[in-house]
């Protein structure tokens, strides 16, 4: 069951989606005027995926993870 901060009916705000364990956030989705503009998801304990959706149709994907004790950011952008 997700939690909303903002106006759920108009999809203006942030939707927080819990993980399988209590009190653990799995996903956060930011909506503006009914459109998803940012989506963050915990893929596992050390990897996070971010999607940014720009008004011109560009989608930016970021994978942030740890490798050998160092933070790594893998990013790409493409027009949809």
pLDDT by residue (tens digit) across 2-52?
999 999 999 999 999 998 876 788 999 999 999 999 999 999 888 999 999
Q: Return d(Cα 71, Cα 53) in angstroms, integer.
A: 24
Q: Where are the beta strands (DSSP E) in the chain?
A: 3-7, 12-18, 25-32, 35-44, 47-53, 58-67, 70-79
What pLDDT does residue 20 have? 82
CA-based max dimension of the chain: 44
pTM as predicted: 0.83
Q: Determine the Cα–Cα distance for residues 11 and 22; give it in Å rounded to an integer.
A: 25
Q: What is the pLDDT of residue 56?
A: 93
Is residue 60 over pLDDT 80?
Answer: yes
**CA 75 to each of CA 7, 22, 48, 78: distance values in angstroms, whole numbers, following the listed order:** 31, 30, 12, 10
């Amino acid at each position: 069951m997700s939690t909303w901060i903002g106006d759920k009916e108009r999809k203006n705000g942030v939707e927080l989606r819990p993980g399988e364990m209590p009190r653990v956030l799995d996903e956060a989705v930011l909506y503006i005027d009914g459109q998803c503009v940012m989506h963050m998801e915990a893929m596992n304990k050390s990897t996070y995926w971010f999607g940014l959706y720009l008004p011109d149709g560009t989608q930016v994907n970021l994978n942030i993870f740890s490798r050998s004790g160092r933070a790594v950011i893998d990013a790409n952008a493409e027009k949809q």
